[in-house]
Amino acid sequence: MKKLSLLGIALAVSMLLLAGCGEKKHEGNHGHEHKMEEKATEEVVANNVSFKEEKAGEIFQHYIHVKTALVNSDADEAANGAKMIVASIGEADGSAEISAAAKSISETSDIKEQRVAFADLSAAVEEALEGQLASGAVYKQYCPMAFNNKGGYWLSDQEGIRNPYFGDKMLKCGRVEKVMGEL
């Protein structure tokens, strides 16, 4: 009888401890979820780029649209984004290179050709954005393996590498070469 009582007490204590651990674990998970929410919010704030001129902001957003489409190997969407760049530029001064590269992307459904033109687009957009950042950061990124190991640059609103020259074949191939603006 005494052994049964001790066993019952031990079982009760064990259940209380397990229940307590479960609560702590739940609180720990809740805290972890909260940290994840904070991190996601910080990333959104960190990626919030603004420009001195509205036209520069429009061009950059459409450029990011094209880059994302190329990362996803979506030639149709890359062409759509490039058409938006051409429409957004209109008669802006110094935009002939941007317009020519964007037209090249919009006029083909060959992803390889689009990626070649994207290198030209990236260089032209970088030049156009020089001195235009009001807040945030733009990351100039580089893949040494692009174009038969000649290398290729692109711009991003995020520090994390998402390679538009290889898409999912080499999604994270590359590095940040330069940060324009503030972190």
pLDDT exceeds cutoff 60 at 8 = no
Burial of 80: CB neighbours in 10 Å, binned 0-12, 13-18, 19+: middle
Q: What is the pLDDT of residue 15?
A: 39
Determine contact, residues 69/154, Cβ cutoff 8 Å: no
The mean per-residue pLDDT over the stretch 152-162 comes to 96
What are the residue boundaries of the structural domains of the chain, listed by start? 1-46, 51-181
Give the largest CA-CA distance in the chain.
95
What is the per-residue pLDDT across 61-115, written as a single tens digit (0 to 9) for each?
A: 999 999 999 999 999 999 999 999 999 887 565 688 999 999 999 999 999 999 9
Neighbours of 35 (CB within 10 A): 10
Task: Name the residue with higher pLDDT: 77 or 130.
Answer: 77
Q: What is the pLDDT of residue 47?
A: 59
Concatenate the DSSP letters of all residues of 25-56 into one string: HHHHHHHHHHHHHHHHHHHHHHT--EESSHHH
Percentage of the chain exceeding pLDDT 90: 62
Burial of 83: CB neighbours in 10 Å, binned 0-12, 13-18, 19+: middle
In this prediction, residue 31 has a pLDDT band, given cuts at 50, 70 and 90, of very low
pLDDT exceeds cutoff 60 at 170 = yes
